[in-house]
Amino acid sequence: GTADQKLGVALVGLGSYSTYQLAPALQDTEHCYLAGIVTGTPAKARTWQAKYNLDPEHCYSYETYDQIAQDDAIAIVYVVLPNSMHAEFAIRAAQAGKHVICEKPMGMNVAECDAIIAACQEAGVKLGMGYRLQSEPYTQEIKKYVREKTFGAVRFVSADAAYISRGNPNQWRLDRSLSGGGALMNMGVYSIQSCIYSCGMNPLTVSAQEFSTRPEYFRDTDETITAQFTFPNGVVGQMMTSHNASANRLYGSCDSGWFELQPANNYGPLSGRTSSGSISFPHESQQKLQMDDFASHILYDTPNRAPGEMGKRDMIIVEAIYQSIKEGGREIT
Ligand code: NDP
């Protein structure tokens, strides 16, 4: 690509994340811009056309979606739908010859992640996950501490990602057929990823527990999950994720110091401190950084910071956690 080239992005599913985070971020991106939309709600199409000056020819419904193949203004399709729809719409985007960004969690299970990866490989298109923290400076700093052993070897990591859900009990996130699971499918990926980059490798084993205190509200999906990991380098880790508690933290204990982010996984600004003082970076939209990183990967072959394989890795861990819960702990008698 040339230095001033910008790739057109189509957002698929105009819910709260597209509306309040991605579309505004796409007004500031350097390597991509909002070029189209895909929505099942005609009124949203009209509002977005007016607000973002979109030509109706770049606006699609779920039925006309495949015609995006003929739309040269759109290079990247960003799937921002309920989890159960990620695989289908990511695969159809790849088959239309478009690069794909898929929101987290990548799919309902590992098999869906494999199908998305295969479709993108077959079509020869790039695949990225909506993992905004992979482009975020505090997170990069933690990775640097681990890589450079700034505080010595890491021994113990701990990460929590949770919020209290009190809304409509019929929302898709609480409906297993649309979400694939509860807190673990929603926020769990943040605590899993925090553990992984705080120790610098993928976990080897997991033991997990599920807690349910509001079964009348969480009829169908997990409410609170804790899990303990071991890692190949001897690090021990623990995580918590919940739809019934508030937590947002990453901590790493090292041989000669420690690091912490709190908050660690919201839209920012994040906040961090270490045994040798506080850390601070100027705030930028994480979504802007993430989408620019992906567009730059396509245009200039810079690293793909959140490839499909990372989405699949996280889903493998999610499945292992659910499996460990099923196997159960030992009763104390
Ligand atoms: P919303 O419920 O706010 O929006 C989902 C949109 O999907 C709807 O507005 C609708 O858009 C479309 N849709 C199509 N079919 C359905 C259906 N059966 N039920 C509900 N919606 C449907 O969800 P979010 O925007 O919060 O989340 C969307 C995705 O983005 C999820 O996978 C979520 O995990 C991920 N996400 C990621 C975040 C991150 O930080 N990376 C943050 C928030 C969400 P339309 O009317 O246009 O058809």
Predicted complex ipTM: 0.99
Ligand 1 contact, 292 CB (< 6 A) = no
Predicted pLDDT of residue 331: 81
CA of 83 to the centre of ligand 1 (A): 8
Q: What is the mean pLDDT of residues 134-148?
A: 98
CA of 121 to the centre of ligand 1 (A): 26
CA of 1 to the centre of ligand 1 (A): 32
Q: What is the mean pLDDT of residues 248-269?
A: 98
**pLDDT interval class at 174 (50, 70, 90):** very high
Predicted pLDDT of residue 117: 99
Q: Name the residue of 16, 17, 18, 47 to mutate for ligand 1: max ligand atoms within 8 A of Cβ.
A: 17
- Whether the pLDDT of residue 256 is over 90: the answer is yes
CA of 148 to the centre of ligand 1 (A): 38
Atom number, ligand 1, closest to the C-alpha of residue 84: 32
Q: What is the mean pLDDT of residues 186-191?
A: 98
Asked if 208 and 127 touch (Cβ cutoff 8 Å), the reply is no
Ligand 1 contact, 13 CB (< 6 A) = yes
Q: In whole angstroms, how far apart are CA 44 and each of 22, 59, 252?
A: 15, 10, 44
Question: Domains of the chain by range and CATH?
Answer: 7-132 (3.40.50.720), 133-278+310-327 (3.30.360.10)
Percent of the chain residues past pLDDT 90, beyond the cut:
97
Asked if 240 and 160 touch (Cβ cutoff 8 Å), the reply is yes
- Whether the pLDDT of residue 194 is over 80: the answer is yes
- As given in the structure block, the two tokens for residue 147 are 């890589």
- Whether the pLDDT of residue 292 is over 60: the answer is yes
CA of 45 to the centre of ligand 1 (A): 15
Q: What is the mean pLDDT of residues 250-269?
A: 98
- Whether the pLDDT of residue 4 is over 80: the answer is no
- As given in the structure block, the two tokens for residue 105 are 């969690």
Atom number, ligand 1, closest to the C-alpha of residue 62: 48
Ligand 1 contact, 41 CB (< 6 A) = yes
Predicted pLDDT of residue 3: 61
Q: What is the mean pLDDT of the chain?
A: 97
Predicted pLDDT of residue 175: 98
CB-based contacts of 102, cutoff 8 Å, min separation 6: 79, 86, 90, 116, 127, 128, 129, 130, 308, 311
**Amino acid of residue 27:** Q
Q: Name the residue of 81, 84, 116, 189 to mutate for ligand 1: max ligand atoms within 8 A of Cβ.
A: 81
Q: What is the mean pLDDT of residues 109-118?
A: 98
Q: What is the mean pLDDT of residues 156-171?
A: 96
CA of 200 to the centre of ligand 1 (A): 31
Q: Name the residue of 103, 173, 189 to mutate for ligand 1: max ligand atoms within 8 A of Cβ.
A: 103
CA of 103 to the centre of ligand 1 (A): 9
Q: How does pLDDT run across 86-95, given as a tens digit for each residue?
A: 999 999 999 9
Predicted pLDDT of residue 283: 95
**pLDDT interval class at 329 (50, 70, 90):** confident
> How far is residue 273's CA from residue 136's CA, in Å, rounded to a whole number?
16
CA of 13 to the centre of ligand 1 (A): 6
**Residue nearest atom 41 of ligand 1, based on CA coordinates:** 130
**pLDDT interval class at 332 (50, 70, 90):** confident
- Whether the pLDDT of residue 2 is over 70: the answer is no
Q: What is the mean pLDDT of residues 236-251?
A: 98
